[in-house]
Structure 1
């Protein structure tokens, strides 16, 4: 390996260093603490033959912490020196391009790597060590041998729903570099805006880069700001500048040009590319829309010309072509599409989607590149050389790997950073879902269903940041930090969920760095976390915090815990309807947000419940118990309190423990058509004394559910039974004229209560 004598100091200490784990993120594959310390000198003299771009980055990152001078005189102390083999000496082809080692002793710091990329990653580790130990003036002696587990360690940014300028995109790239991520997935086109200049098609940015207004607030409110948005886009010169900036940080930018769906912004500029005449306009709502690219020759010519310009700007091996959420409504009604299906002996419109992706892949391959797309590109058969980005869960990645295709794992349940990361009641408005730091950290990108040979096709892991509800860059920072740190360690392959608390402490140590950088990170890690558990007469409410739990104070009468509260000593028994408010205090001072949780207790609360079909992984927090935990779901926050089922009915059986009298049954379903969530189609209620033989006592249809707006409260007469079963029927396939038409509807259900 190339050997970099990075820093040499005449000052040293032979004192034994306590065996304290350094606060590095991602943690190295191998780190051995040794005796002694390296004393940080006040001035470092840089040897002039160090790799310039990487070393200049090092200088700028450390800033005023250490003074630098330049000199070619290697006899002076505090010299950064590089020792490399002559060019005629070949680099070991088996060595990993991102591998490096660092030896820190009282005499100096040495970095070894075969590549500039490995050297750059070593510098990231060294920067963190300098930042951690600058105040005490010495870095413990240690030996680090390190390399990543996964080749693709990515972060995505959607600039279509909301736009971020060149400087902000560069900051985003810097965040990735800090934590050793190496891929920036840049989502550049969508229904709500076209953000990349294409010189052959100027109307894409003249028309498609703006919209008349934007949806604001929760989707169910259906409210708009009435303000024109845009035109916002990146010129080709700006893109070249950003690509170069990323390359200097050894980060690959993978551009995404959406097709065949998510095309409204493009169709607003060039309506002749659609199946119908239009006119079209860039979407003002979020969601999925029926108007998509029509698979005709002029469309393919357009897309090939667009991709030509994109590939000249981005040297990445992969070009992301989207492929997700493409409704087939227009294709079903289009004579050209139907003729194309017959002509090519395609099975149906899903086969037409595959035909579309195959054609695009063949063209991209002809230019020496490869395509990657969301897992819907599996529909109708995967293109020969395509890679899959598995977002709807892990099944897309499993299917791809088993068929010999590469995959990047990015399941929404673990990797969607537009989800809430703390208590939704104390968080800014988010898209939905609940993905806290510990859940991100717990993710293993290699599905257990794959054997060792198939697992080789998992390229890595990526998190996605969709920006429907992220209007400025401060909010971008808030949503990615600190979750980006967990993703970093997952991608590096050193995450250890069993020792999450230790990781959490390292995260908190990194907050000092983010504070200096004035990054607006989420402090959810400091807030009270509540968990409902079976216990007592029904349920108990367990409160936890990352600090000393003795600092938790709470009330059970809904009053402010800053005024009059109890010291938390263990799970709080919930035997009646009430509101728990809690907060964390240090030295009598409030240190967290005040968390509030309302409980509605019924005869089912805390009872044993089973589901015949399990919810989607994205919306499964708490599992079946969520339906009897005493918490009524918030219709504006699809976080912790709802279970979501795509294309599945809910069949729930509750064991009341003994024969119990009741006359009322209630449950809620949700309607949010823009997110493909539809009210239940019907519902039936059954009772049983033995859990085997059930008798239906009530049935309601779509009209009654619709009139109640999903808040179902039913009088079932005087009943007395040990078991109660609810069957709540999913709406099925979404009908034409709705977002996501021809796809499976989502059914969201929260508390099932009996009184």
Structure 2
């Protein structure tokens, strides 16, 4: 915890000393913990009826505020008179950064200020967690907070390519992300085992690619299948609804459309997209598949651009994730068309070909005012046993402006990437994969993840954030997902928001225990 300035502390002390109430004996539990906070020894009763003033420019949603605070037992009454309000929201330019806020609670009420709606929204999330009970009365401790996040990218990824969850469950996730001040929902919508987004120009992507006739169960080595059809996809209207829902919670949705690998569902729908031009079924087995787009075929490139046209028109996000991971180069090596194309273009290795393809898509998205993002295989470095050393990049480099999503390989690769000037989101699988069992990635291990490990100086500015991944191979039901997600998501929220010097495992663990009681009631 950092101390506020002596002047601000003096103000707080004076306010506290003027109060005649009994001392505050409760404990402040806030996740993620504020980066600058001073907690007083007194409190203010707020009762069950809370009068709230919203400045005209605040942009705050009354219905959302009422719904959020209903969990605490508070009933909201909105007023146009600021001077009588218990809680006020005001826009004050240049308050404390893009997502920052100030919260002051004293004998006169609670005031939240920020330079924009996003900051006010995060102040509201902190206010909710400050409400506690003392002597059977709802109270707010005297406190002064000046808070802003460590990282601008604080993400949760949901993989629905493997198991479709549906908009009801997605909205629940967005609600919890908002409570934890996470601002990016990374939506993995296509994979080998399923295509989950409607593309109007190519209806077979969901009609054929959105369904498989059975699913491997048990574990990676299992030969047991459930024999049940699994299907599902989102219409574009449903996606618009979810995007709007997320926006009201200050969350940006970043779609992931896998390419050039993890393309089996698309190739099952349109066989001409692959190098073999042969019909295949949507895979029922998990693990890395061999099917990849034939990137040497101009018609395939046009197909991908057509898909991205619809995706870009749907999603306001400035970033589009193209996957790019786990491409097995076998089919490219066997394809005469691909080999001839590489020779004509003087492309030396399969990884160089993937970089050529990635840059082609990056430039296309750039013309649409979008940034391209991909898993760190897009750099061309060998990180998998199933690729040969001679297949790695031989000198080709990614286009400027590409965002690299690190998940696998030696962490020193992050330093190599930022030295070349690329922005990085750190999602190192050893810490951030929520599908991993809690015996492997415990809450404490997750909490101690450091996105900046080994990065110093100005290069830290290129680590733009953290992502936690909920991969879906062995997460068939929402209840399976919730067991893996809670309370570990809270650890990643604090890793993304709170500076390391302000973190405390003991304090966090106590707060997570309290929050997890609510999650158990809601989701188990």
Q: Which TM-score applies when normalising by structure 2?
A: 0.89
- In structure 2, do the counterparts of structure 1 residues 13 and 59 end up closer, same or farther at CA, with 3 Å as the change threshold? farther
Pairwise CA distance, 1:498? 8.2
- In structure 2, do the counterparts of structure 1 residues 131 and 260 end up closer, same or farther at CA, with 3 Å as the change threshold? farther
Residue deviations 1:330-380, cap 9 Å, x none? 000111111111111111111111111011111001111110000000013
Three-state SS of the structure 2 residue aligned to 1:419 is coil
Name the counterpart of 2:242. 242
Distance, in Å, in 2 between the alignment partners of 1:275 and 1:134 is: 71
Name the counterpart of 1:478. 483
Contact 1:43 1:66 in 2 (8 A): yes
- In structure 2, do the counterparts of structure 1 residues 31 and 79 end up closer, same or farther at CA, with 3 Å as the change threshold? closer
Relative to its length, the structure with more strand (as a share) is 1
2:40 is aligned with 1:34: yes
- In structure 2, do the counterparts of structure 1 residues 401 and 152 end up closer, same or farther at CA, with 3 Å as the change threshold? same
Distance, in Å, in 2 between the alignment partners of 1:384 and 1:458 is: 16
Pairwise CA distance, 1:218? 1.9
Contact 1:389 1:408 in 2 (8 A): yes
Distance, in Å, in 1 between the alignment partners of 2:206 and 2:119 is: 39
Name the counterpart of 1:69. 77
Name the counterpart of 1:302. 303
Q: How does 1:38-57 map to 2 (within 5 A)?
A: 38-47=44-53, 49=55, 51=58, 53-57=60-64
Name the counterpart of 2:432. 415
2:61 is aligned with 1:60: no
Distance, in Å, in 1 between the alignment partners of 2:357 and 2:62 is: 46
Distance, in Å, in 1 between the alignment partners of 2:159 and 2:91 is: 41
Pairwise CA distance, 1:20? 6.0
Contact 1:267 1:280 in 2 (8 A): yes
Contact 1:17 1:141 in 2 (8 A): no
Three-state SS of the structure 1 residue aligned to 2:28 is coil
Pairwise CA distance, 1:396? 3.8
Distance, in Å, in 1 between the alignment partners of 2:434 and 2:253 is: 19
Relative to its length, the structure with more helix (as a share) is 2
- In structure 2, do the counterparts of structure 1 residues 144 and 225 end up closer, same or farther at CA, with 3 Å as the change threshold? same
* Aligned residue pair count: 488
Pairwise CA distance, 1:14? 3.0
Residue deviations 1:190-236, cap 9 Å, x none? 00000000001011011100001001112222110111111x00000
- In structure 2, do the counterparts of structure 1 residues 133 and 365 end up closer, same or farther at CA, with 3 Å as the change threshold? farther
Contact 1:102 1:110 in 2 (8 A): yes
- In structure 2, do the counterparts of structure 1 residues 19 and 398 end up closer, same or farther at CA, with 3 Å as the change threshold? farther
Name the counterpart of 2:337. 336
Aligned counterpart for 1:513 among listed residues 510, 518, 522: 518
Three-state SS of the structure 1 residue aligned to 2:476 is coil
Three-state SS of the structure 2 residue aligned to 1:258 is coil
Distance, in Å, in 2 between the alignment partners of 1:52 and 1:146 is: 20
Distance, in Å, in 2 between the alignment partners of 1:226 and 1:82 is: 55
Name the counterpart of 2:201. 200
Name the counterpart of 1:264. 264
Three-state SS of the structure 1 residue aligned to 2:65 is helix
Name the counterpart of 2:13. none
Residue deviations 1:495-541, cap 9 Å, x none? 5698423321111121233245x123xxxxxxxxxxxxxxxxxxxxx
Aligned counterpart for 1:445 among listed residues 448, 451, 455: 451
Contact 2:79 2:85 in 1 (8 A): no
- In structure 2, do the counterparts of structure 1 residues 498 and 171 end up closer, same or farther at CA, with 3 Å as the change threshold? closer
Distance, in Å, in 2 between the alignment partners of 1:124 and 1:206 is: 41
Q: How does 1:262-411 map to 2 (within 5 A)?
A: 262-295=262-295, 296-379=297-380, 380=393, 381-393=397-409, 394-411=411-428
Residue deviations 1:104-143, cap 9 Å, x none? 1122101111110000000000111125769542121111
Distance, in Å, in 2 between the alignment partners of 1:110 and 1:69 is: 16
Three-state SS of the structure 1 residue aligned to 2:77 is strand
Uncovered stretches (5+) of structure 2, i.e. residues with no partner: 1-17, 381-392
Q: How does 1:565-714 map to 2 (within 5 A)?
A: none
Contact 2:26 2:132 in 1 (8 A): no
Contact 2:290 2:328 in 1 (8 A): yes
CA RMSD of aligned residues (A): 2.1
Contact 2:362 2:371 in 1 (8 A): yes
Pairwise CA distance, 1:39? 0.7
Distance, in Å, in 1 between the alignment partners of 2:91 and 2:182 is: 26
Distance, in Å, in 2 between the alignment partners of 1:216 and 1:515 is: 26
Name the counterpart of 2:469. 464
Contact 1:14 1:37 in 2 (8 A): no
Distance, in Å, in 2 between the alignment partners of 1:223 and 1:475 is: 19
- In structure 2, do the counterparts of structure 1 residues 167 and 135 end up closer, same or farther at CA, with 3 Å as the change threshold? farther
Distance, in Å, in 2 between the alignment partners of 1:188 and 1:84 is: 37
Three-state SS of the structure 1 residue aligned to 2:258 is strand
Residue deviations 1:389-426, cap 9 Å, x none? 0000424432221100000000010000000103xxxx
- In structure 2, do the counterparts of structure 1 residues 353 and 446 end up closer, same or farther at CA, with 3 Å as the change threshold? same
Uncovered stretches (5+) of structure 1, i.e. residues with no partner: 1-11, 86-90, 423-433, 521-755
Contact 2:215 2:226 in 1 (8 A): yes
Three-state SS of the structure 2 residue aligned to 1:336 is helix
Contact 2:34 2:147 in 1 (8 A): yes
Distance, in Å, in 1 between the alignment partners of 2:291 and 2:104 is: 58
Name the counterpart of 1:605. none
Pairwise CA distance, 1:245? 0.6
Distance, in Å, in 1 between the alignment partners of 2:270 and 2:412 is: 36
Distance, in Å, in 2 between the alignment partners of 1:45 and 1:329 is: 65
Pairwise CA distance, 1:19? 7.3
Name the counterpart of 1:558. none
Distance, in Å, in 1 between the alignment partners of 2:448 and 2:54 is: 44
| Bigger RCO (CA 8 Å, 6+ sep) | 2
Contact 1:39 1:106 in 2 (8 A): no
Name the counterpart of 2:230. 229
Residue deviations 1:312-344, cap 9 Å, x none? 111111100000000000000111111111111
Aligned counterpart for 1:14 among listed residues 4, 13, 20: 20
Larger radius of gyration: 1
Name the counterpart of 1:715. none
Contact 2:46 2:138 in 1 (8 A): yes
